[in-house]
Amino acid sequence: MSTSSRPVAHATPAWPNRQLIDLLKIEHPIILAPMAAFGSIELAAGVSKAGGLASIGAARAPLLAGEKIQQLRKRTTHPININFFCHTSPQIDAARQQRWRDRLTPYYRELGLDAPSGDAQAVAPPFDAAACAVVEATRPEVVSFHLGLPHPSLVERVKAVGCIVMASATTVDEALWLEQHGADVIIAQGYEAGGHRGIFLASDLNEEVTLQPGTMALVPQVVDAVRLPVVAAGGIADARGIAAAFALGAAGVQLGTAYLLCPEALTPPLHREAIRHASTNPTVITKVFSGRPARAIANRLTRETASAARDVPDFPLAPSALIPLQSESERRGSSEFSGHLCGQAAALAKEMPAEALTRELAMRTLAHFRHLASANRYTSA
């Protein structure tokens, strides 16, 4: 073997793009996706301990964000990301609510339940001045927004106390809009992603959500369009996906589904079971579970109401009429009406603690980069 082709003893492998690492002051550019109702302090602490960015989803109860931040502060000295939704408050449309209840009534009868009644209750208030005051008091290092950004005066207040603002874009136009309106980091959320689509610039959600790009196509276009660091999200659940995201120009990745089987996640047992069988349980984008498009495991409800998207009440009013049905069906051990949110890479999710999973993801990705670097050394020798 000639000296020119001998593998060189290499230094500690490094991330090829340090933009996000340096901005957020983290060791590995791996972000735990904020997952309201599914994340936990323990899950976030595990990711943080391994050097990734810990996130807390506060969309369900924005005013409790301060308590959660304090709980997590006791578990880590590293940066914390707190996440809010920025939807416009829903239109109360009594006729639509009635159409939706009528649509669900046969299922209620089938399970021996009284037909759904009463006005729908909103389950997730948008980020507002009161939630902003919580952020100002607790000063998390990062605040991330889904479904757009809040009013410019609120973005200004968040940034004035030193928080870095991240926000999700599902198209290049949304990424440019976020850059122009004060975001510091763009999360490019591809079509494969689990949970709610971050879509916010659509004139007709029902139509436009079906036209959205996947992660592989979206990330490089967003990287080319904006000057900010870009985080890839959607369908990334192992080191191969993370390495691919960096090859596309991403400065980091945000993973949700990959963490849903961690013991620290609050994923309910039937949801876990559905993910364990994800290779034969496809996912679908549907409005039926919340009123906004979200990716979840396809089931009887998503199939039988596929043509009813325009009858579903606006986000976040839709769950009210569904909850009794879901509770009874789940009590009987069935997922046929449940909203098991997850992304297209669910079959890659592993049942291991968050800290070990994050370390494994980072180490294996770095090994990929090392492998590529030594292959380059051979070819250029």
Ligand X SMILES: Cc1cc2nc3c(=O)[nH]c(=O)nc-3n(C[C@H](O)[C@H](O)[C@H](O)COP(=O)(O)O)c2cc1C
**Site residues (CB under 6 A) for ligand X?**
33-36, 38, 57, 59, 83, 146, 168, 189, 192-196, 233-236, 254-258, 341-343, 345
Task: Output the smallest distance, CB 199 to ligand X, in A.
Answer: 11
CB atoms within 10 A of CB 347: 15
Task: Output the smallest distance, CB 99 to ligand X, in A.
Answer: 27
CB atoms within 10 A of CB 51: 17
Task: Output the smallest distance, CB 34 to ligand X, in A.
Answer: 4
Which residue number, 179 or 192, has a Cβ lying nearer to ligand X?
A: 192
The burial of 153, by beta-carbon neighbours within 10 Å (0-12 exposed, 13-18 middle, 19 or more buried), is given as exposed
Which residue number, 241 or 313, has a Cβ lying nearer to ligand X?
A: 241
CA 118 centroid distance within chain: 31
Which residue number, 36 or 312, has a Cβ lying nearer to ligand X?
A: 36
Which residue number, 254 or 302, has a Cβ lying nearer to ligand X?
A: 254
Q: Which residue is nearest to ligand X (CB)?
A: 256
Task: Output the smallest distance, CB 369 to ligand X, in A.
Answer: 21
Question: Shortest CA distance to 41 belongs to which of 7, 21, 64?
Answer: 64
Which residue number, 17 or 290, has a Cβ lying nearer to ligand X?
A: 290
| Residue bearing tokens 């510091």 | 184
Scored b (16 or more CB within 10 A) or e, 272-309 reads bebbeebeebebebbbbbbbbbbbbbbbebbeebeeeb
Task: Output the smallest distance, CB 12 to ligand X, in A.
Answer: 27
Which residue number, 10 or 240, has a Cβ lying nearer to ligand X?
A: 240
| Cα–Cα dist 163/23, whole Å | 11
CA dihedral angle for residue 267, residue 269, residue 274, residue 276, rounded to 10 degrees: 90
| Residue bearing tokens 């070990």 | 356
Task: Output the smallest distance, CB 137 to ligand X, in A.
Answer: 21
- In sequence order, what DSSP letters do the residues of 211-235 get, joined into one string? GPPPHHHHHHHHHHH-SS-EEEESS
